Chain A
Amino acid sequence: QAVVTQEPSLTVSPGGTVTLTCGSSTGAVTSGHWPYWFQQKPGQAPRTLIYDTTNRHSWTPDRFAGSLLGGKAALTLSGAQPGDEADYYCLLFHGGIRMFGGGTKLTVL
């Protein structure tokens, strides 16, 4: 069974830019994996930021952008704010099932 990988933790300065990635043990991530990105803050349900690689929800700030980068799905945050500190999870479609990455804890400091 495939494994979906994310950076365990990342730190970004306020106003800075950071890229989170989502890889697959089976090879390059493509649009056919229909990548999703979710944000979860302590004590809250996850919130969808990006779906199908690049699409934002109506509530997703423009500073979040989804893409494919170097064989992985990527979430780029430009102009980080303290309120962006959270756990971020990616989700891939793999052989008929969905699989989550282990999550990235993003610190804004």
Chain B
Amino acid sequence: QVQLQESGPGLVEPSQTLSLICTVSGGSINNGNYYWNWIRQPAGKGLEWIGRMYTNGNTNYNPSLKSRVSISGDTSKNQFSLNLRSVSAADAAVYYCVREGAGAYWGQGILVTVSS
């Protein structure tokens, strides 16, 4: 069964770039008809879809974040990553990576705080 694990800094300074990695085990990111998603959840609030990357590398992004976000894959490491530029306090959240396709498998999430 596929497993996903988020990693990256838990603290990012305002105006800097948030960079997270999702390491996938139990399946290859370039095999199969899967979408590799990033989703976030601010404390006490609902889920927000950030964007996703298809197996072939094509991407879709939330229009509200599109100007600041990029998602890409590294097949040699079986990882995909999230970069969110120019962060502010509003970007503080738990960030999840999720494999979508014949169901959805979630990572455990990583808490990111934005502060100087």
Contacts and interface: CB of A to CB of B under 8 A. Distances in A.
Interface of A: 1, 36, 38, 40, 45-48, 51, 55, 57, 89, 91, 96-103
With a 10 A CB-CB cut-off, give which of B49, B96, B108 has the most chain A CB atoms: B49
15 contacts: A45-B108, A46-B106, A48-B104, A48-B105, A48-B106, A51-B104, A55-B103, A57-B103, A91-B49, A97-B62, A100-B39, A100-B46, A100-B49, A101-B46, A102-B46
Interface string B74-116: 0000000000000000000000100000111111110000000
A99 B104 contact: no
A100 B105 CA distance: 16
Interface residues on B, range: 20 to 34
Contacts of B106: 45-48
Contacts of B49: 91, 97-100
Instruction: Pick the 9 closest A-B CB pairs, nearest first.
Output: A48-B104, A98-B49, A100-B47, A103-B46, A51-B103, A45-B106, A45-B109, A102-B46, A57-B103
Nearest to B6: A45
A96 B48 CA distance: 16
A93 to B, nearest CB: 10
A77 B85 CA distance: 41
